[in-house]
Structure 1
Amino acid sequence: MVTTTTRRRYGGSHAAMTIRVVADVIAAVIGLWILLYVLDANRGNDLVVFVQDAARWLAGWSYDLFDLEPGWFQVLVNYGIAAVVYLFVGHLLAARVSRH
């Protein structure tokens, strides 16, 4: 059950809350890939491959935006841009949905 307090805390509607959660999960997957890359996780591990594939698909528009050295910095910047954009746009859209 959604109470008035819950609606105020989470943005007013189920749609807005869903949009926020989706944006947060997308950013978390991308952030997890950045962390796994920086920590030099085993690329033969199925979980690492899954996270890499998911992050690459989600950040397909930005993963090779800049060609930087060293490689970890390139991953941090390019995937980080995508994560921030998903968070910003998702939360902005959720705020607009909750007002209507």
Structure 2
Amino acid sequence: MWRRTADFAVWAVRVVSRLAALILVLYIAFTIFPTNPANSLVRFVESFATSLSLGLYDLFQLADARWQVLVNYGLAALVWLIMGSAVASLIRRVTP
């Protein structure tokens, strides 16, 4: 019972952290390469990106806005991946 619950929790943490990182990477790609701002996928990704950036969206102030998005949102994506792996590992360790 505990093992199945832990397996599900690990799976859920990994899925959520990877989806968050994916949304941030898509936002970076949509910012660096010209996209149609009226496109529904672009608007969807844009609406979530700032809230998923963990407050890092304005950490570094660079002259070029595209580089600023790449650095700040890329850092946030890395943090999501690292945190997801760390939490999943922690769940595995404490599971009897």
Q: Does 1:53 align with 2:53?
A: no
TM-score (norm 1): 0.82
Counterpart amino acid of 1:35?
A
User: Secondary structure, in 3 states, of the residue corresponding to 2:78?
Assistant: helix
1:83 corresponding residue in structure 2: 77
Structural mapping, 1:1-16, within 5 Å = 13-16=7-10
User: Secondary structure, in 3 states, of the residue corresponding to 1:16?
Assistant: helix
Q: Does 1:69 align with 2:63?
A: yes
Report deviation, 1:44.
2.1
Runs (4+) off by over 6 Å: none
2:89 corresponding residue in structure 1: 95
Unaligned residue ranges in structure 2 (runs of 5+):
none
Counterpart amino acid of 2:7?
S
Counterpart amino acid of 1:36?
F
TM-score (norm 2): 0.85
CA RMSD, 1 decimal = 1.6
Q: 1:19-56 deviations in whole A, cap 9, x for unaligned?
A: 01110000000011101111121112222111111111
How many residues are paired up? 90
User: Secondary structure, in 3 states, of the residue corresponding to 2:35?
Assistant: coil
Counterpart amino acid of 2:84?
G
Unaligned residue ranges in structure 1 (runs of 5+):
1-6
Q: 1:28-85 deviations in whole A, cap 9, x for unaligned?
A: 0001110111112111222211111111111150111111122111000010111000
